[in-house]
A and B are shown apart, each in its own frame.
Chain A
Amino acid sequence: MSANASKLINLTLKVWRQKGPDVKGGLETYEAKDISTDMSFLEMFDVVNEGLILEGKDPISFDHDCREGICGACGAVVNGRAHGPEEGTTLCQLHMRHFDDGDVVVVEPWRSKAFKIVKDLVVDRSALDKIIQAGGYISVNTGGAPDANAIPIAQEVSDLAMDAASCIGCGACVASCPNASAMLFVGAKVSQLKLLPQGDIESAKRAVTMVETMDSLGFGNCTNEGECEVECPKGISITNIARLNRSYFKARSLFKKGVN
């Protein structure tokens, strides 16, 4: 048998259960039995939920969609770590081989004033959408598609923009930030557009409106703790936050009236 052959493990789960947004929730204990180490964390939840359904109980609600680590729907804080203990993975790509038989696993929803709990582990992340609506786009005239490569862009710059664009909007940065700040998300979105000539045109206005919206939604203030960068499943660097700080002040440039 090879070293990484699958085995079956038993876990004790302590999962946050909450019936709705404004009711009191609490941690409930469940036994997860005969879990294959080949399963993902969400598949483990499926097994536990099947058991709950058979018992006539309410299954644990959690968000998920692609289960491939690309959509940003899933996410929970597992034993105090957003998306679990592995770096560079979403919860759906966290595999049970990273757990040991007999482990106690505490699962909590993203916690932030800006993310209201819908049910159990499902949180309302529309605050992130509101930030995008405030400026995370470019305005273009309709018409024929422009020629590819008509605007030359240096490879390093397009790489940086692509890195920033890999943000899947999961909200783990907010969840893991000691201040529940959304600066990594906003930094990534602002950078992705600002770095490219098509997006740079509106970058001043964008930085201001996105930061204003972020502030109004109840997110905390970034104190450069750096937790988000480590917990981000896409490894988005906090250099994007520095770029946002720069763009914001360029846009506001203190004494300039209004913004362009």
Chain B
Amino acid sequence: MNSFLNTIWSSIGKKWVMAITGLSFCGFLVFHLLGNLTVYGGPELFNWYVEHLHSLGVLIKIAEWVLLFLFLVHVITGLLLAYENYRARPVRYAVSKTAGGRTLGSRSMAITGILILAFVVFHLLTFRSAGQKEVGDLMILTNWFHRPEMVAAYIMAMAVAALHVSHGFWSAFQTLGAGHSGRKSKFKTAGIILSLVVAFGFGCIPVFISMVS
């Protein structure tokens, strides 16, 4: 095997893959959120944003394929790591207690990851395919968020995503070997702030739409 594949397949290599793809999604979330904020500007601003997004044409297509690729890599590598880690302790402890290192976010990465995967599939099936039928963009949102169960589901999905980010963001820097990392690093605080931004930024949108519509 050549040196590149050898590196990627090592334990640290796989974690670098997780870190780089994961940080890309953090970036994506921020841009997605900035775009979504146009909802607060009323239907005109939001529809203007959606049209501009569509008018990017092939660029958007490329971005979508890149995101899909990164997503698949992140999911598959993550599942592989989780499986390997499960196998690394064939006999479990009868009693196991945390010493205080783990957080709710860190211990639930696999579960929140799978929930996010389910959410993304659902989200794409509903909004993206609906968006291509050109029904009128804000209408799609208002139709969906008319239903309280949809609002609840979206808020819950965002809470899950925030939990994932709360560990993932910091963890990526630690894995990439950032100086001044460690358990009490600034990256950890930054990750928690980002997760709150994600939770509130995205989470408030369905509430807002269901209230104004």
Q: Mark B163-184, 1 if CB is under 8 A from A, else 0.
A: 0000100110011111111110
Q: Is B212 an interface residue (CB 8 A)?
A: no
CA distance A227 to B183 in the complex (A): 10
B122-149, CB < 8 A from A: none
- Which chain B positions have C-beta within 8 A of A226? 101-102, 106, 183
CB atoms of A223 and B101 under 8 A apart: no
Residue of A nearest to B176 (CB): A245
CB atoms of A225 and B107 under 8 A apart: yes
CB atoms of A220 and B16 under 8 A apart: no
- Which chain A positions have C-beta within 8 A of B170? 224
Q: Mark A214-241, 1 if CB is under 8 A from B, else 0.
A: 1100111111111111110000011101
One of B26-34, B38-46, B47-55, B86-94 contacting the partner:
B86-94
CB atoms of B95 and A178 under 8 A apart: no
Q: Is B213 an interface residue (CB 8 A)?
A: no
CA distance A71 to B116 in the complex (A): 46
Complex partner residue of A242 from B85, B99, B101, B179, CB under 8 angstroms: B179
A1-47, CB < 8 A from B: 14, 16, 27
CB atoms of A257 and B99 under 8 A apart: no
CB atoms of B11 and A215 under 8 A apart: yes
CB atoms of B175 and A227 under 8 A apart: no
B74-131, CB < 8 A from A: 81, 84-85, 87-102, 106-107, 109
CB atoms of B88 and A224 under 8 A apart: no
CA distance A252 to B171 in the complex (A): 21
CB atoms of A80 and B97 under 8 A apart: yes
B1-23, CB < 8 A from A: 3-4, 6-7, 10-16
Given known contacts A111-B92, A220-B85, is B101 in contact with A228 (CB within 8 Å)? Answer: yes
Given known contacts A81-B99, A238-B183, is B15 in contact with A221 (CB within 8 Å)? Answer: yes
Residue of A nearest to B106 (CB): A225
- Which chain B positions have C-beta within 8 A of A81? 97, 99
Tell me the smallest distance from the CB of A212 to a CB of chain B, in Å: 7
- Which chain B positions have C-beta within 8 A of A178? 85, 102, 107
Complex partner residue of B12 from A82, A106, A112, A248, CB under 8 angstroms: A248
CA distance A243 to B13 in the complex (A): 14
Residue of B nearest to A27 (CB): B94
- Which chain A positions have C-beta within 8 A of B167? 224
- Which chain B positions have C-beta within 8 A of A108? 93-95
CB atoms of A245 and B93 under 8 A apart: no
Q: Is A114 an interface residue (CB 8 A)?
A: yes
Tell me the smallest distance from the CB of A34 to a CB of chain B, in Å: 25
- Which chain A positions have C-beta within 8 A of B102? 178, 225-227
Given known contacts A222-B15, A245-B12, is B109 in contact with A180 (CB within 8 Å)? Answer: no
- Which chain B positions have C-beta within 8 A of A163? none
CB atoms of A224 and B91 under 8 A apart: no
Complex partner residue of B81 from A87, A111, A221, CB under 8 angstroms: A221
- Which chain A positions have C-beta within 8 A of B87? 113, 218, 220
CA distance A176 to B171 in the complex (A): 18
CB atoms of A80 and B93 under 8 A apart: yes
CB atoms of B89 and A255 under 8 A apart: no
Given known contacts A226-B183, A227-B102, A254-B7, is B95 in contact with A242 (CB within 8 Å)? Answer: no
CB atoms of A176 and B11 under 8 A apart: no
- Which chain B positions have C-beta within 8 A of A215? 10-11
Given known contacts A112-B88, A220-B85, A254-B7, is B174 in contact with A245 (CB within 8 Å)? Answer: yes
A246-260, CB < 8 A from B: 246-249, 252, 254-258
CB atoms of A238 and B12 under 8 A apart: no
Q: Is A93 an interface residue (CB 8 A)?
A: no
What 5 A-B pairs come out closest when comparing CB atoms?
A: A246-B177, A226-B101, A220-B88, A80-B97, A245-B177
10 CB contacts below 8 A, A to B, read: A111-B89, A114-B88, A218-B88, A220-B87, A221-B11, A223-B15, A223-B106, A229-B183, A249-B7, A252-B6
